[in-house]
């Protein structure tokens, strides 16, 4: 079973089918009205795999007020929704999504004091990783090669090279499903390997902003360069992927199990297991979500048969 996205458990949309584009202003201080776009946007344009059909509605939010407005609007219309960042950990179904996709573009950074960053959840995580290191801090150097947003990285507790996002989170501001703000302090948050408290939170609608506390370091920059070099050597950088498809099972490396199963280079339709890194599956041309799902099933079955190990997906499957 693929992990399924937390979704707002609301009923079918009741918005009239006309007009195709509509805007709603609510009481956001941002002058730009929210622009909801109906049945035009393809999810393949909003993820690193380049896979995914149309979503019923699509809206971009540029500040926290707009995010709240979009969530409240979806609630009022009984429309299910998802909040996405760069779609770098998502497999969108080729049939699309039968609700509203809220694209997070909340991209501010505030330096509260040295090493103390308050960051909009739509800010690029790799950019924050590079900036914080250049400013002399350690804790996010692993983020330099992770092409997601801050919100996605905290939601997934993204990590690499022995570091994880959750290690340096000081507090997180969320929007609840009721459209209310809530601040969660470090003491309320416990993270695990690719696990965050947000994944199981019933009343979470979105992470809106994250505060990180980093320590001074003279060696972080050198480490970041090493990590980036290693990525280039070991990962199919530049190919359409979603990073590692599976979590590492306790005591094993998922990539090694797949490689030892002889599956590197294996293809289903346009989906292929990378020859460079066996836990990276690539859209090598025209892959559908079904191709990926079949390839994932094939790998799970083979690894189960050969090693009696059950692989679990890291990627999130978003379906209609
Ligand atoms: C080339 C490549 C390398 C990668 N390397 C790594 C790596 O080293 N380590 C690692 O851990 N991951 C890695 N990844 C996976 C991915 O980049 C991370 O998981 C990233 O943090 C996901 O961020 P995103 O903004 O793209 O999230 P999305 O893919 O957009 O969303 C992922 C999930 O988070 C939820 N989400 C996103 N934003 C919010 C928000 N603001 N509020 C609430 N929920 C939200 C979505 O609803 C979804 O469930 C890699 C991916 C690629 C393509």
Per the structure, the count of domains in the chain is: 3
From 148, 194, 233, the mutation candidate for ligand 1 (largest count of ligand atoms within 8 A of CB) is: 148
Q: pLDDT tens digits for 226-269? A: 999 999 999 999 999 999 999 999 999 999 999 999 999 999 99
Above 70 in pLDDT, residue 28? Answer: no
Range 291-319 average pLDDT? 98
Q: Is residue 26 part of a domain?
A: yes
Above 50 in pLDDT, residue 74? Answer: yes
- 58: domain CATH number is 3.30.43.10
Q: How far apart are CA 299 and CA 297, in angstroms?
A: 5
How high does pLDDT run on average in the chain?
A: 92
One-character DSSP codes across 202-263: TTEEEEEEEEEE-EE-SSHHHHHHHHHHHHHHHS-TTSS--SBSBPPPTTS-HHHHHHHTT-
Q: How far apart are CA 121 and CA 50, in angstroms?
A: 22
126 shares a domain with 100: no
Q: State in Å: Cα 306 to ligand 1 middle.
A: 30
177 shares a domain with 251: no
159 shares a domain with 193: yes
Number of other CB atoms surrounding residue 236 within 10 Å: 18
Domain that residue 91 falls in: 10-104
Give me the percent of the chain exceeding a pLDDT of 90. Answer: 89
- pLDDT of 275 reads 98
- pLDDT of 4 reads 40
122 shares a domain with 98: no
Question: What is the residue with the minimal CA distance to atom 10 of ligand 1?
Answer: 158
Q: Let me know: does 116 contact 213? Beta carbons within 8 Å.
A: yes
Return the ligand 1 atom nearest residue 90 CA: 29
Query: Angle at which helices 220-234 and 125-134 pack, to 10 degrees?
Result: 140
Question: What is the residue with the minimal CA distance to atom 28 of ligand 1?
Answer: 87
Q: Is residue 234 part of a domain?
A: no
- pLDDT of 137 reads 98
Q: State in Å: Cα 193 to ligand 1 middle.
A: 14
The CB of 174 under 6 Å from ligand 1? The reply is no
pTM over 0.85: yes
- pLDDT of 23 reads 58
């Amino acid at each position: 079973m693929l992990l399924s996205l937390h979704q707002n458990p609301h009923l079918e949309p009741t918005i009239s089918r006309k007009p195709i584009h509509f805007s709603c202003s609510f009481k956001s201080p941002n002058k730009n009205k929210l622009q909801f776009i109906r049945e035009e946007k393809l999810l393949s344009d909003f993820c690193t795999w380049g896979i995914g059909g149309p979503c019923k509605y699509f809206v971009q939010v540029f500040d926290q007020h707009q995010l709240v407005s979009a969530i409240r609007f979806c609630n009022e219309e009984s429309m299910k929704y998802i909040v996405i960042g760069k779609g770098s950990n998502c497999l969108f179904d080729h049939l699309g999504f039968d609700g509203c996709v809220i694209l997070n573009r909340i991209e501010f950074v505030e330096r509260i004091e040295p090493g103390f960053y308050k960051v909009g959840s739509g800010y690029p995580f790799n950019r924050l990783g590079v900036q914080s290191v250049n400013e002399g801090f350690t804790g996010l150097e692993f983020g330099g090669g992770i092409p997601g947003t801050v919100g996605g990285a905290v939601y997934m507790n993204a990590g690499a090279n022995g570091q994880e996002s959750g290690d340096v989170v000081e507090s997180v501001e969320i929007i609840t499903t009721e459209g209310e703000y809530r601040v969660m302090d470090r003491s309320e948050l416990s993270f695990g390997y690719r696990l965050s408290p947000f994944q199981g939170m019933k009343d979470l609608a979105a992470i809106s902003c994250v505060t990180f506390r980093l320590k001074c370091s003279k060696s972080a920059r050198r480490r970041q360069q090493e990590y980036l070099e290693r990525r280039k050597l070991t990962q199919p950088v530049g190919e359409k992927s979603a990073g590692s498809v599976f979590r590492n099972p306790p005591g094993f490396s998922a990539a090694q199990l797949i490689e030892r199963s002889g599956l590197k280079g294996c293809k289903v339709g346009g989906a292929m297991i990378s020859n460079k890194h066996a836990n990276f599956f690539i859209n090598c041309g025209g892959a559908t979500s079904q191709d990926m799902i079949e390839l994932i099933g094939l790998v799970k079955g083979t690894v189960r048969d050969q090693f009696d190990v059950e692989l679990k997906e890291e990627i999130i499957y978003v379906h209609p």
